Amino acid sequence: MSAETPVISCKEIWKIFGDKPKDFYKNMRPGMSFDEIHAKGYIAGVKNVSIDVQKGEMLVIMGLSGSGKSTLVRCFSRLHDITAGTITVDGQDIMALPEKELIELRRSKMGMVFQSFGLLPHRSVLENVAFPLEMRGQDKHTRRERAMEVIELVGLKGREDYFPRELSGGQQQRVGIARSLAIEPDIWFLDEPFGALDPLIRKEMQDEFLRLQKLLNKTIVFITHDFDEALRLADRIAIMKSGMIEQCDTPDKIVLNPATEYVRKFTHDVDKARVVRAGGLMVAGLSGEGQPVDVRSSVAAMARMLVNDSRDTIPVQKAGVVIGALPRKAALDILLGAEV
């Protein structure tokens, strides 16, 4: 991730549904709760959210049904106009963009994948993937060439002439992913893309998705209600409730230090040793001797070494460079349980 200007930056945004929501917002009593707003006949889909998404980051937004996660992402792309606050994409205030420029921004920079695959049933895989390029007005040869590139990328080479009805659910989802990648977006929005798949296919799609992200390094906002999926995919997780973000942090920190009781419930049954990584326990500036461990190594993956090692601190490296050290006892406490 980069420390540069965020790709997406939201400041104090609200999305209120109801009659004349901007008038209601202007006259709203400060500190009104979600339920109090609802009692007035309005719904706070997004309530005073500030969040940045960095270049190359995978931000996973999660929460239960009705928490506001899909509404928030639709605000990011201005599929919903916000009631208050500001949203910038690559430094542009998207609320100030005329419709023509907004459409061009979506077409050129944003890819979107939803739970419902939305494939055109009477078009082949190739034609479905090439469809957004056709809408751009690209010539047939160019769009076919690009479509074939992404069809191969998502593992569907040889099925380009199939129709959606001839594909499995996982294969149909791959077509949806390929179609969104065809325009070469900088930003990728995915709203519960694997929610309709059975557990085995879902795991395969997560593996495929992680492979694609490693190759492409997109800026990704991924919505899910599945905490295990969030832990597996995310650089950071934002957990939402009643239109607000309860906590936004790395998976390690959310599991180790849940900020609220609501977040604690999500983390209660998590196997911390499989989630917490060396980087999450590392102390920058702390030194250690001997063989280092990788910053991405989980406590579970280091289990044998941690039990058999005698070092108090173990060096942690990233891309071959030591960046700090891991207190061995802290890792053992997660692996074996803290000493009473």
Q: Which residue has the tokens 């599929």?
A: 79
Domain range 54-85+92-271, its CATH number among 3.40.50.300, 3.30.9.10, 3.30.300.90, 3.20.20.80: 3.40.50.300
Tokens of 12: 């104090």
Instruction: Determine what percent of the chain is predicted with pLDDT higher than 90.
Output: 67
Q: Are 182 and 175 in contact (CB under 8 A)?
A: no
The residues near 31 (Cβ < 8 Å, ≥ 6 apart) are none
Mark residue 141 as left, alpha or beta (left: phi above 0; alpha: psi -120 to 50; beta: remaining). alpha
73-88: pLDDT as tens digits: 999 999 999 999 999 9
The residue ranking higher by pLDDT, 193 or 26, is 26
Q: Give the pLDDT confidence score for residue 1 in this predicted structure.
A: 44
Query: How many whole angstroms separate alpha carbon 175 and alpha carbon 180?
Result: 9
pLDDT confidence of residue 316: 96
Does residue 197 surpass a pLDDT of 80? no
User: What is the average per-residue pLDDT within 91-97?
Assistant: 94
Please check the confidence at residue 117 and state whether its pLDDT lies above 70.
no
The phi and psi torsions of 46 (rounded to 5 degrees) equal -135, 130
- pLDDT at 282 > cutoff 50: yes
Q: Residue 3: pLDDT above 60?
A: no
Kindly report the CA angle at 64 between 63 and 69, in degrees rounded to 5?
50
Distance in angstroms (rounded) separating the CA atoms of residues 105 and 115: 23
Q: What CATH superfamily is the domain 273-336?
A: CBS-domain (3.10.580.10)
With contact defined as beta carbons under 8 Å apart, do 71 and 15 qualify?
A: yes
Lowest average pLDDT, out of 83-92, 138-147, 331-340, goes to 331-340
Provide the pLDDT for residue 2: 44
Q: Would you state the pLDDT for residue 115?
A: 67
- pLDDT of 125 strictly over 90: yes
| Model confidence at 58: pLDDT above 50 | yes
**Domain ranges within the chain, ordered by starting residue:** 54-85+92-271, 273-336
Give CB contacts under 8 A, 24+ apart, made by 176-180.
Answer: 176/113, 176/114, 176/117, 176/118, 176/119, 177/113, 177/209, 177/212, 178/125, 178/129, 178/147, 178/150, 178/151, 178/153, 178/154, 179/128, 179/129, 179/131, 179/132, 180/111, 180/112, 180/113, 180/132
What is the pLDDT averaged over residues 265-269? Answer: 87
Which pLDDT belongs to residue 242?
93
Beta bridge partner(s), residue 110: 187
Q: What is the pTM of this model?
A: 0.86
Residue 283 is classified by DSSP as B
The per-residue pLDDT for range 145-189, each reduced to its tens digit, is 999 999 998 889 999 999 999 998 888 888 988 888 888 889 999
